[in-house]
Amino acid sequence: MIPRKLAVKITELASYYPVVVITGPRQSGKTTLCRATFPEKTYVSLEAMDNRDYAHNDPRGFLSEYADGAIIDEVQHAPELLNYMQGEVDERPETGRFILTGSQHFGLSQSIAQSLAGRCGILTLLPPSREELLGFKNVPNALFTTLWQGAYPRIYDKSIPPQQWLADYVATYIQRDVRQVINVSDLQHFSDFLKLCAGRTAQEINLSSLGSDAGISHNTTRAWLSILETSYIIQQLPAWRSNIRKQVIKAPKLHFLDSGLVCYLLGIREPEQLRHHPQRGAIFESWVAAETCKARVHNGEQPDLYHYRETRGLEIDLIIDRGEQLDAIEIKSSATVNTDFFKNLNTFANLKQNKNRERSVTKHLVYGGEATQQRSGARLLSWRDISVLTTLGACRV
């Protein structure tokens, strides 16, 4: 197992609450992480039908068997179990007693809110960040291969060809998970919708246009996007809202959370295809947004990620709101830096600080090249040093 940054936060929350819940997409490493972090705890998976039936039909008996605590995996299969767990932890409120995992946040959130409010800590585990992936021996050293393979750990841990693993993952997700959430009579229809979304990664969401292309209604488009988001396939970055100017685009931006999955859905069958692919810049932008999201989520923080665009042309690819500080980030897949790349950053920083001097703005440019430098007023970051973005601020301007 490679070290995962969320382990620190899981241990911390287990010292505060009797229950800790770990959500996240399938195959992100939740089970491996929990068993490694709490090796002394009994492990039981509700993926197995006999365990699931036991939890369904005799929840009190099930919990009494694990009265001293346990790691209960895939708990979304028996959400009603949480109703009975409430009484258990109220009677014996020892911290860190139960560690629960679930792959479908939408299958857990309502039960947690109703039954375990105030009794549990909730964390999310996404696929490993670039920094975490370096713990594997066979991590690619080239940008296009990194984007093409994505970050799901089994690809690296078991040396499975990425296209094979991702094909199986998509088939499993559509055939199994989607059927459990919505009544899709034609799964091919949803599969086509997923591919249409991949073609729009790093773009603002236009529900009418996407629905028209997919042949579904406006409301269905919204519902299906929500399913993709709550199952951690995509993230929707809201527009950063401030009274800098009135003519601000307020549509959210769609980003896939795994670049390898995007490449697979777009039919990119080898890394070198990315070099001249029309979606190269969009895939790279989504990768940077995903890496930034992972770093914050795995530290137990809210992502607080946004984008910004005005009708007059000013656009910032990514904004991190840190309270008193805003990080403005431009993202370019080019390996060569052009001075024009900094234009929007400078305009945004000057505009914001002239309006409100209480919040400082730091400027970052993430690109597909090799050199990381401190430029005049901005930090130039190589894709290799993406983790710096979440740990260090650029110079204040």
Q: What is the pLDDT of residue 352?
A: 66
Q: CA–CA separation, 381 vs 54, rounded Å?
A: 52
Largest CA distance in the chain: 67
Q: CA–CA separation, 334 vs 293, rounded Å?
A: 22
Q: CA–CA separation, 346 vs 378, rounded Å?
A: 9
What are the structure tokens assigned to 380, written together? 């130039």
Q: What is the pLDDT of residue 390?
A: 67
Q: What is the pLDDT of residue 246?
A: 53
pTM as predicted:
0.92
Q: What is the pLDDT of residue 112?
A: 77
Inter-residue contact 34 to 22 (CB < 8 Å): yes
Let me know how long the chain is.
397
Inter-residue contact 41 to 11 (CB < 8 Å): no
Q: What is the pLDDT of residue 183?
A: 66
User: Which CATH superfamily is 6-124 part of?
Assistant: P-loop containing nucleotide triphosphate hydrolases (3.40.50.300)
Question: What residue spans define the domains of the chain?
Answer: 6-124, 130-233+255-283
Q: What backbone torsions phi and psi does residue 222 show, to the nearest 5 degrees?
A: -60, -45
Q: What is the pLDDT of residue 396?
A: 38
Q: CA–CA separation, 330 vs 378, rounded Å?
A: 11
Where are the alpha helices (H) located in the chain, listed in sequence order? 6-14, 30-37, 49-57, 59-65, 81-91, 109-115, 130-133, 143-149, 153-157, 162-172, 179-181, 187-198, 207-214, 218-230, 259-265, 280-297, 343-355, 388-391
Q: CA–CA separation, 328 vs 359, rounded Å?
A: 12
Q: CA–CA separation, 229 vs 396, rounded Å?
A: 34
- Cβ neighbours for 256, distance < 8 A, ≥ 6 positions apart: 197, 198, 201, 233, 234, 262, 286, 290
Nearest to 362 by CA among 334, 390, 386: 390
One pLDDT digit (tens) per residue for the chain, 397 residues: 899 999 999 999 999 999 999 999 989 999 999 999 999 999 999 999 999 999 999 999 999 999 999 999 999 888 889 989 999 999 999 999 999 998 765 556 667 767 788 889 999 999 999 999 999 999 999 999 999 999 999 999 999 999 999 999 999 887 777 776 776 666 788 889 999 999 999 999 999 999 999 999 999 999 899 989 988 999 999 998 765 555 567 899 999 999 999 999 999 999 999 999 999 999 999 999 999 999 999 999 989 999 999 887 899 999 998 888 889 999 999 999 998 999 999 998 887 665 555 678 899 999 999 999 988 778 999 999 998 876 644 333 3
Q: Nearest 5°: CA angle at 187, between 184 and 191?
A: 120
